[in-house]
Amino acid sequence: MKRNKVEICGVNTSQLPVLTNAEMRDLFARMQAGERPAREKLVSGNLRLVLSVIQRFNNRGEYVDDLFQVGCIGLMKAIDNFDLGQNVKFSTYAVPMIIGEIRRYLRDNNPIRVSRSLRDIAYRALQIRDQLTNRNLREPTIAEISSAMEVPKEDVVFALDAIQDPVSLFEPIYHDGGDPIFVMDQISDDKQQDVTWVEGIAIREAMRRLSMREKRILSMRFFEGKTQMEVADEIGISQAQVSRLEKAAISHMQKFIT
């Protein structure tokens, strides 16, 4: 049966191999010892990783074959640079590199053109950031990147902003038991301290029907403009719990407002 057969760039995705962790380590050791066939097996054995990544870019209007090919370039870079001595899963290391390669491709093919000089500064800043991260085992500051590049901080920030892709506020960034946390859940608002939707007698009455913890969460989120992570840290629960309690409290209030 070929019902589940899907071909991308001539590759039958239903027949892609899956490597165990032991097989991966053995192939990496053989590849780094100079065995070229081991590298080819590592590439074919991780093509499913590329497939999982390109699904994030399905709404960009790009040809899947093109994204797959670009993702494979990122995969090969990850394979060539992976350090077996680090206590990190290969997928954890490879996924950001595959995503980065696809984003570079999308930026270079974006109809909104960014000047070549800005792109050069931005790409150099990204390279310096990776180098400093590997050396210091932490994310460098803009000041550190600026100093290493000998470029003013303002130019670095402007260049990096120019190549960023827009992100939907409703893009899920984390799932916990099927309950997604969206980008908008991570954004605080320091300007809107007096939130208009909590004005009026009906809303105040609905607020009175909430538990003390629900009131506190809504107050911190919508009056104080804190992110869910900040609320979670202050209350001492997980961010996923804050998200669920917040949504449940709002849903509970709506029953008394509508």
Instruction: Write out pLDDT tens, residues 155-196.
Output: 888 788 776 655 555 555 555 455 555 555 555 554 444 444
Q: Please provide the average confidence, as pLDDT, over all residues in the chain.
A: 76
DSSP secondary structure, 135-203, as one string = HHSSPPPHHHHHHHHT--HHHHHHHHHHTPPP--TT-EEEEETTEEEEGGGG---SS--S-GGG-SHHH
Would you state the pLDDT for residue 10?
58
Distances (CA, A) of 73 to 8, 67, 142, 168, 203: 15, 10, 28, 26, 54
The answer to whether residue 248 scores a pLDDT higher than 60 is: yes
Sorting pLDDT into bands at 50, 70 and 90, what band is 149? very high
Q: Is 46 helix (H, G, I), strand (E, B) or coil?
A: coil
Does the pLDDT of residue 71 top 80, yes or no?
yes
* CATH for the stretch 111-166: 1.10.10.10
Domain 111-166 identical in fold to domain 172-257: yes
Q: What is the pLDDT at residue 253?
A: 73
Q: Which distant-in-sequence residues (6+ apart) come within 8 Å of 140 by Cβ?
A: 128, 129, 132, 133, 148
What span, in angstroms and rounded, lies between the C-alpha atoms of 142 and 125?
A: 9
Model-level pTM? 0.43
pLDDT over 70 at 49, yes or no: yes
User: What topology is assigned to 172-257 in CATH?
Assistant: Arc Repressor Mutant, subunit A (1.10.10)
Q: Dihedral (C-alpha) 71, 141, 125, 135: value to the nearest 10 degrees? A: -70
Report long-range pairs for 198-201 (Cβ below 8 Å, ≥24 apart).
Answer: 198/222, 198/223
- Determine the residue type at 137: L
Which long-range contacts (C-beta less than 8 Å, at least 24 apart) are formed by 215-222? 215/249, 217/242, 217/245, 217/246, 217/249, 218/246, 218/249, 218/250, 221/246, 222/195, 222/197, 222/198
Domain edges within the chain? 1-109, 111-166, 172-257
Q: Enter the tokens of residue 134.
A: 């590997």
Burial class (CB in 10 A: 0-12, 13-18, 19+), 231: buried
- 1-109 classified as CATH 1.20.120.1810: yes
